[in-house]
Amino acid sequence: MTSIATEPRPLSKNLAKQLLAYATVAGASIAASAPNAQAEVVYTPTHNNINQDYYLDLNNDGIGDFHIHSYYLSGIGNFEVHPMIPINKVAAVDKGCPRGPGAAPLPKGAVIGPGLTLDGNATCMAFMLSWYSTGPWLGLKDRYLGFEFYIDGQKHYGWARLSMQDFFCYLCIGRILGYAYETVPGKAIVAGDEGNSTNASVEPTLGALALGAPALDLWRREQGQE
């Protein structure tokens, strides 16, 4: 039997409008998911003594963001962190330091972002004067400094994991055990997140699927195939 080819019927106005709507939704959904696709926590592993001065460059662009300093001599000791750029800030706690706020020793899992108290003057971590020692970081291990800093004029958040040894350790009063930052401006980061978070993954959306089965079903119904 000889088959006779037939030309497909033109799309009705109704089908054309629905397909256009699907395409619009799909495009909007893909565009909306783009920032998530680019979201990334960049982690830098390290394991070093502070050795009096450690210049922390969170995004490794050659520009120091924070200066971590440790010192002990003749009964006077300091363990502190200072912003290297005036607008940068440190997660703060209002206790444990003789003058002003201290740098908060955040636990793993703490959210570092817009809802956190941050202060450029929260420099004190631990302090020693003769027999008297104090400070929020005194003797603590594996805690996190939370940071707010700027890249090309845009606000970012990051963390550094540190441990405090003892003032009599001299050059090893403090140790830094890695640091990370969030590449998306204004997006919070979780203390201890080394880039394994699923928040940056792109999940299938209704819009992304709209050009698939739903559009095909519409075409089939219009052509009388269903």
If one counts every other C-beta atom within 10 angstroms of the C-beta of residue 94, the result is 13
Question: Exposed (0-12), middle (13-18) or buried (19+): which is 64, by Cβ within 10 Å?
Answer: middle
Place of tokens 């050659």: 62
Apex 163 CA angle, 92 and 125, nearest 5: 35
Residue-level pLDDT at 33:
39
Q: Which pLDDT tens digits describe the chain residue by residue (226 residues)?
A: 433 334 445 445 554 445 344 443 344 333 333 344 456 999 999 999 999 999 999 999 999 999 999 999 988 999 999 999 999 999 999 877 877 899 999 999 999 999 999 999 999 999 998 888 899 999 999 999 999 999 999 999 999 999 999 999 888 999 999 999 999 999 999 999 999 743 333 333 333 333 344 444 443 444 454 4
CA angle 168, 174, 177 (to 5 degrees): 150
pTM: 0.70
pLDDT of residue 3: 39
Q: Which tokens is 213 given?
A: 């089965």
User: What's the pLDDT at 41?
Assistant: 97
Give the pLDDT of residue 100.
81
CB neighbourhood size of 221 (10 A):
11
User: What's the helix, strand, coil split of the chain in %, to 5?
Assistant: 20, 35, 45
The Cα angle at residue 213 between residues 211 and 215, in degrees rounded to 5:
50
Instruction: Specify the DSSP element, H or E, that contains 33.
Output: helix 13-38
Q: What is the pLDDT of residues 113-170, one digit of tens each?
A: 999 999 999 999 999 988 888 999 999 999 999 999 999 999 999 999 999 999 998 8
Q: What is the pLDDT of residue 94?
A: 86
